[in-house]
Chain A
Amino acid sequence: MKAKILALLIVLTLVLTACGSKGESAAPEGTIVLRFWVHTNNAFIAGYEAAIAAYEAEHPNVDIQLENFDYELYLQTLQTAMPAGEEADILQLFGTWTSQYYERLTPVPAEVMTVEQAQQTFYAAPIGGFIVDGVLYGMPQEFNMEYGGVLVNKTLYEAAGLTYPPQWRTMDDVIADAQALTQVDETGMMSVAGFHFACADPTAFSFLAGIKQRGGDYWNADHTAFTFNTPEARAQLQFMVDMVNAGVVDPVVFNDSTNFVIDAFFQGKVGIGYIGSWAIALGQTNYPDFADEWDYFYLPPIQGDPVFVADSGWGLTVSPNSQHQDIAWDFVRFVTANPEIAAQWNIASGTIPAMPAVAESPEIAAAMPWVPKALAILPYGEYLGNMPDRDLVVYEIIYPHVLNALQGVETVDQALQAIDTEANSTFR
């Protein structure tokens, strides 16, 4: 009997220990353990591992444990862990999500960084999303620029007899090159898209940038409603439809689900591929045997200044449930606002720096030659704005209707009317 009671006590102790440990692994006495959650992206993770190693070298009593989740799983994990107060000490957060999560986040302490300091330290677009109602909730690591950047296949350019590197002064020059690059097979199906811009982010962000560059806006004056059914939006969408009619891309065969721009480009099926520079590291990782020569360039504006909008990209924040918030914030500042560490992370992840001081550094120019090309237009980047549900508006409203217009399923007017009605319905 005594043996049974003893056995039960041992099992109970083990179970309670397992329940209470919160997944912390054994660490030497006196060591402060911080859990750090990020989404799975091997290039990003390599950057974080280097930053953690640098921080731990300076702070031997701190052990930062990195845990990564597949993107979709990360969203679900945040949504279930945060209400339960079980999230990690340090969280990777997409800046634009902040307006949806800020009630469950902790403001950045003034001694770490004030709003004014943040606005001086970072570009406007990356920091914009981390500020809700004048309060700073995190610090950005990248300039998430989906507008304007294109992968260009030099091999296809030379095969088509075009001048390389491209000398684009206007979008007409781009369209002319794209028409020469496009190839169609014997059955009439497009086999090489001259200018593939029909994926979700490029389509949505070039549409929004086009509205801005034409002097319009998709927000009303006080940002309480969307205004998509405007002459500027109509002109921009018509311009995109005209590009399809000019034969630069077949949006039925080349879109987000079929021939996604990164896959299609690194398989030699795209001459000019519209995608953010984050695609470079991903493409090189996924297609190491791609033999064609290529480079990354920026498109000319539709008209006037290259005004564009951008999300606040990936950055870091701290859980209000962390037992060591001061150290967690110190680590966040170390990774995001220390120019040397921030530059190393941007190089490892292939992302555009969120800080002008880093973006303009020779170190970045040497490692990522496409960044200096972007320097002239980065200051024109504006934050997208705090939408009630950014993903719903961009991926379920703007992109599907713009794609419908490109595919000829809806007219330009029908698409704009639908975008305007549906986007405004998200405010309810």
Chain B
Amino acid sequence: MVRTRNRNDRRRSGLVISKRRFVASVTIPLLLYESLGIFVLGWAFVLMFFDYSPGRLGGPILGLGGSNPFVGLRNFVEMFSGDSVQATLFRTSLRNTIIFAVAVLPLNLAITLPLAWLLESIGNRFKSLYRTIYFLPVLTSSVGVALIWMSMYDPQAGWINAIIRAFGGTPVAWLSDPRAGFANVSIAMWAVIIAYLWQDYGYNMVIFIAALQGVPHELREAALIDGANSWQAFTRITLPLIRPTMLFVCVMTMLSSFQVFDVIQVMTNGGPNNQTQVLMLDIYKSAFRYQNMGWAAAESFVLFLVVMGVTLFQMRVLRTDWEY
């Protein structure tokens, strides 16, 4: 009896040790990884108070001070009230980023939600095929997408202008004409928005399809029996029920729109006349092209605040207090 209890105790303590080992082996690397991430964020936070360039030697502690002087909040004051080229570019970039995000979100929803609804309503035979086709651009490299659209927008050899010519219209320099615009937004910005939407819409469409599949058919059928038409059933039943998904899609689309970089860098590099210069591109150029790391860190902080503010606003507006 005593021997059995000892054996059990030993087995239990062995289990506890192996559990602890497992926890330690998982937690320690994770903590190390996280601390690395926190160090990077902390370094960026410190840098935004300095006029820091990696090309300069600076002071003895991490190169801060000396020829990389402490400037306090001067970077932020300059951003919003200065007349330097960096301040002007920052304000232009912020405005363009907001235009881009505000245009992309409703356009994305206007494409993906009806498309998801349409795909959900067709027979199972073609559903997978269409879903795959529409999702393919998401899997494509952003640089590849940008190059394809650049060739289509080419003013002389692009097929968009070829169609315009075929109908007797005047061709447009889509990516390089600073004078052309639509709805007070430059034509180059619309051109990159269209390319970005084309690549991105499949992602939200798949999420909406999943959400639509989760809506109980009984609710919709009951509404139809009570005399509602399809549109009313969609807007009064389906749409409110997928509101949590809508919140997720809106937040994620807004986040990615505020961080757009690769498509624009390849297609226009911010041109023409800075009309497509967005914040991520400006941060990248400030940090790595012009070696102004302090300024770039301050810009990143502003972008973080903007994104956080917009996300909190969306969560408040689209919040739901019920489940089904």
Using CB atoms and an 8 Å cutoff, list the residues of chain A in contact with chain B.
72, 75-76, 79-80, 82-83, 97, 100-101, 103-104, 185, 187-189, 191, 252-253, 255-259, 269, 389, 391-392, 396-397, 400, 403-404, 407-409, 421-423, 425-426, 428
A255 to B289, CA, bound (A): 21
Which residues of B have CB within 8 Å of A396?
85, 89, 285, 290
Beyond the given pairs A389-B290, A392-B85, A392-B290, 16 more chain A to chain B contacts, judged by CB atoms under 8 angstroms and listed by A's residue number, are A72-B288, A76-B288, A83-B54, A100-B53, A103-B56, A187-B169, A253-B156, A257-B271, A258-B154, A389-B292, A400-B273, A409-B273, A422-B84, A423-B85, A425-B85, A425-B86
A-B interface, 7 closest residue pairs, ranked by CB to CB distance from nearest = A425-B84, A103-B57, A422-B85, A258-B176, A79-B54, A100-B55, A101-B55
Q: Indicate the member of A72, A80, A269, A407 with the most B CB atoms within 10 Å.
A: A407
Task: Report B-chain residues with C-beta under 8 Å of the C-beta of A403.
Answer: 272-273
Q: How far is the CA of A213 from the CA of B289 in the complex (A)?
A: 31
Are B177 and A252 neighbours in the complex by a CB distance under 8 Å? yes
Interface size class of B (residues with CB under 8 A): 35 or more
CB <8 Å contact, A79 and B290: no
Complex-state Cα separation, A389 to B84, whole angstroms? 13
- Of B54, B57, B86, most buried by chain A (CB within 10 Å of CB) is B54
Instruction: Tell whether B63 is near chain A: CB-to-CB under 8 Å.
Output: yes
Q: For the complex, is B18 an interface residue (Cβ under 8 Å from A)? A: no
A188 B273 Cβ-Cβ under 8 A? no
B22 smallest CB distance to A (angstroms) = 16
Interface residues of B in 144-203 (CB under 8 A from A): 154-156, 165, 169-171, 173, 175-179
- Contact between A253 and B178 (Cβ–Cβ < 8 Å)? no
A-B contact count (CB 8 A): 103
- Write the nearest CB–CB distance from B69 to chain A, whole angstroms: 12
Contact present for A391 and B290 (CB under 8 Å): yes
Query: Which chain B residues (55-110) contact chain A, with CB distance < 8 Å?
Result: 55-57, 63, 67, 82-86, 88-89
Whether the Cβ atoms of A104 and B55 lie closer than 8 Å is yes
Contact of A252 among B67, B85, B176 (CB under 8 A): B176
Complex Cα gap A422–B271 (Å): 18
Contact A258:B178 (CB < 8 A) given known A82-B55, A426-B84: no
Contact of A83 with B179 in the complex, beta carbons under 8 Å: no
How far apart sit A423 and B273, CA to CA, in the bound complex (Å)? Answer: 17
> What is the CA–CA distance of A253 and B172 in the complex, to the nearest angstrom?
9
A407 touches B178 (CB 8 A): yes
If A189-B156, A258-B175, A407-B178 touch, whether A75 touches B288 (CB-CB below 8 Å) is yes
B277 to chain A, nearest CB (A): 10
Complex: how many Å from CA A76 to CA B268? 21
Q: Report the bound CA distance from A20 to B288 in whole Å.
A: 27
Contact B289 A391 (CB under 8 A): yes
- Whether a CB of chain A sits under 8 angstroms from the CB of B269 is yes
Q: Is residue B291 contacting chain A, with contact meaning CB distance below 8 A?
A: yes
Interface of B is mostly: loop
Answer whether residue B256 sits at the interface, using C-beta atoms and an 8 A cutoff: no
B230 sits at the interface (CB 8 A): no
Q: What are 8 A-B contacts defined by CB distance under 8 Å?
A: A97-B55, A100-B55, A191-B156, A253-B156, A257-B271, A257-B272, A391-B289, A422-B88
With most chain B CB atoms within 10 A of its CB, the pick from A189, A258, A409, A422 is A258
Q: Which residues of A contact B53 (CB under 8 A)?
A: 100
A400, B292: Cα distance in complex, Å: 20
Do the beta carbons of A404 and B288 come within 8 Å of each other? no
Cα A392 to Cα B88 with chains together (Å): 13
Contact of B54 among A82, A255, A397 (CB under 8 A): A82
Residues of A within 8 A of B57 (CB): 103-104
Report the separation of the CA atoms of residues A253 and B271 in the bound assembly, to the nearest whole angstrom: 13
Shortest beta-carbon distance from A72 to chain B in Å: 7
Give A80 Cβ to nearest chain B Cβ, in Å: 7
- A404 lies within 8 A of B273 (CB): yes
A75 and B156 contact, CB distance less than 8 A:
no
Q: Evaluate contact between A257 and B175: CB separation under 8 angstroms.
A: yes
Q: Are B178 and A421 in contact (CB under 8 A)?
A: no
Chain B CB count within 10 A is highest, among A256, A269, A425, for A425
Is there a chain A Cβ closer than 8 Å to B274's Cβ?
Answer: yes
Establish whether residues B63 and A83, one from each chain, have CB atoms under 8 Å apart when the complex forms. yes
B residues less than 8 Å from A101 (CB atoms): 55
**A409 contacts B176, C-beta separation under 8 Å:** no
How far apart sit A389 and B169, CA to CA, in the bound complex (Å)? 44
Q: With both chains docked as a complex, state the minimum distance between the C-beta of B61 and any C-beta of chain A, in angstroms.
A: 12
Q: For the complex, what is the distance from the CA of A378 to the CA of B264, rounded to whole Å?
A: 39
Q: How far is the CA of A97 from the CA of B290 in the complex (A)?
A: 11
Q: List, in ascending order, chain B residues with CB within 8 A of A258's CB.
A: 154-155, 173, 175-176
Complexed CA–CA distance, A72 and B269 (Å): 13
Complex Cα gap A392–B171 (Å): 33
- Residues of A contacting B155 in the complex (Cβ-Cβ under 8 angstroms): 189, 253, 258
Please report the C-alpha to C-alpha distance between residue A426 and residue B169 in the assembled complex, in whole angstroms.
44
Distance, CA A256 to CA B55, complexed state (A): 28
Assess the B54–A428 pair: CB atoms within 8 A: no
Given known A191-B156, A407-B179, contact A426–B85 (CB-CB < 8 A): yes
Q: A103-B56, A187-B171, A189-B171 are contacts. A421–B290 as well, Cβ < 8 Å? A: no
Q: Are B173 and A253 in contact (CB under 8 A)?
A: yes
Q: Given A83-B54, A257-B269, A400-B274, are A252 and B173 neighbors across the interface (CB < 8 Å)?
A: yes
B176-A255 in contact (CB<8A) = yes
Please name all residues of chain B whose beta carbon is closer than 8 Å to the beta carbon of A104 when the two chains form the complex.
Answer: 55-57
A404 to B274, CA, bound (A): 11
Report if A79-B178 is in contact (Cβ < 8 Å); known contacts: A400-B274, A425-B83.
no
The residue that A428 contacts in the complex, of B84, B268, B291, with Cβ under 8 A, is B84
> How many angstroms between the C-alpha atoms of A82 and B53 in the bound complex?
11
A262 to chain B, nearest CB (A): 16
* Cβ contacts under 8 Å, A397 to chain B: 85
Q: Which residue of B lies closest to A84 (CB)?
A: B54
Given A187-B171, A396-B85, A425-B85, do A253 and B176 touch, yes or no (CB 8 Å)? Answer: yes
